[in-house]
Amino acid sequence: MNTDITDPWCGTDVPESSNDKCKNCFEDSFVENQTQHIKLADSEEYLEKLCKLKSLQKASSKKDLVTSLFEAKEDSIARLITSGCKIETEEETELTSNPLIRHIAPHLQALTANELVHLLKADVLQIVNESVLSGKVFLVVTGASRGIGKQLAISIGSVLEKGSHMLLLATNLNALKETAKNIPASVSVDTVSADLAKTTKDKLHDIIMQSLKDQTLHQFDRVVVIHNVGSLGPMNQCTNDLTDINMWHDYYDLNVFVPAILNGVIMQIFNEKTNTEKLVINITSLYGIKPGKYLSYYCSGKAAREMFFKVFAVENPEINVLNYSPGPVETDMYYEICNDFADKQVKTEFKDMLMKKTVLTCEQTVNRLLTVLKEQKYKSGDHVDYYDEL
């Protein structure tokens, strides 16, 4: 008999199936053990997240399946039209949830990037609602125009209770306004351009009172002050070369003196008569407790500022004070170190973290801060780093 070699099944003797065996003999032959299914290591965690996601989306009926399939079809048509009929890559396809598989066999499809973001936002909301950030809040954030300060304003401001009020301070007013666009209309926001290195007690008092002109002090359940503003200073000079007194004054004015003065002004405005809960967060650094070559300004400034808030915590035990070190975060300051730092070893380490994608995002470190605040496992005035296990 002539056999077509292009057909691997031609000429093969296939036994007849008996009545007492499964009819799907061919498919079942690929399954070694039909009675046991091995779960993935993170299956329980995945199913728990999926249940939470369904609860958030309130999608549990047959109508939801039909709606999901219709929306998926509409999205596919829209993508084809807007992309000039460009077919999605395999990677892009994997990021899209298949609604049919999700409803019939959810364990066969992982959570998409958008779904993970949705869950993350829900977690942040839960953290805020259960923590020292609940109630109507007057929030002050310095250096809120970019980087960590911007993310702090957006992440916290987005979940504050209706009637809360925010004051964002930085030099770049346009950038501050961009930050404010990400905050819900239920929270009022003031953006003020101020050169904090050259301000005074009276100017700071006027800025705060002007921001509160349409508010009453007693309407707020708590005041939250985040001292985020800061600069690196020169990163290519040894300690013996730092003999310019004016440069020292300029650096300490912005990084130490003004945060201390601003803090005092706010505490005087919201004194014991207002009966307002207070939370003060100082954004510090590992370099505030660990010396680094060519970083005399930065290390000494962070150390002085952190110690000031430690003393403040001891003097005011009723106030919640946290010195938070955000870890290595991808910001403009991080790139300054990569480009201008005189210490070649540290410079190389920072560049390697960028290449290996191990550097943190602003959102990651802010979410970690919110978790620290929720858990409240630190003592007021403590230095808590992103990587610390409390």
Write out pLDDT tens, residues 98-132: 555 555 655 555 666 566 655 565 555 555 555 67
pLDDT at 373 (0 to 100): 93
Give the contacts of 266 (CB within 8 A, at least 6 positions apart). Answer: 140, 208, 223, 225
Q: CB of 167 within 8 A of CB of 139?
A: yes
DSSP string, 128-193: HHTSTT-SSEEEEEESTTSHHHHHHHHHHHTTPPTT-EEEEEES-HHHHHHHHTTS-TTSEEEEEE
pLDDT at 272 (0 to 100): 86
Residue 34 has pLDDT above 80, yes or no: no
pLDDT at 21 (0 to 100): 47
Chain mean pLDDT for the chain = 81
Fold of 118-385: Rossmann fold (3.40.50)
For residue 223, give the H/E element and its range. Answer: strand 222-227
pLDDT bucket at 381, cuts 50 / 70 / 90: very high
Residue 178 CA, chain-centre distance (Å), reads 18
User: Buried (b) or exposed (e) across 200-222, using 16+ Cβ within 10 A?
Assistant: eeeebbebbeebbeeeeeeebbb
pLDDT at 82 (0 to 100): 57
DSSP state of 32: S
Look up the pTM and report it.
0.70
Residues 315-355 have pLDDT tens digits of 999 999 999 999 999 998 888 888 888 888 888 988 998 88
pLDDT at 379 (0 to 100): 97
For residue 356, give the H/E element and its range. Answer: helix 344-356
Burial class of residue 75 (count of CB atoms within 10 Å of its CB; 0-12, 13-18, 19+): exposed
Q: CB of 337 within 8 A of CB of 346?
A: yes
Tokens of 388: 């610390």
Q: Output 307 or 274, whichever has higher pLDDT.
A: 307
Please report, for the chain, the start and end positions of each structural domain, with discontinuous segments joined by +: 47-111, 118-385
pLDDT at 90 (0 to 100): 46
Residue at 372: amino acid letter: V
Q: Which residue in this structure is represented by tokens 């666009």?
A: 181
pLDDT at 97 (0 to 100): 57
Q: Output 12 or 384, whichever has higher pLDDT.
A: 384
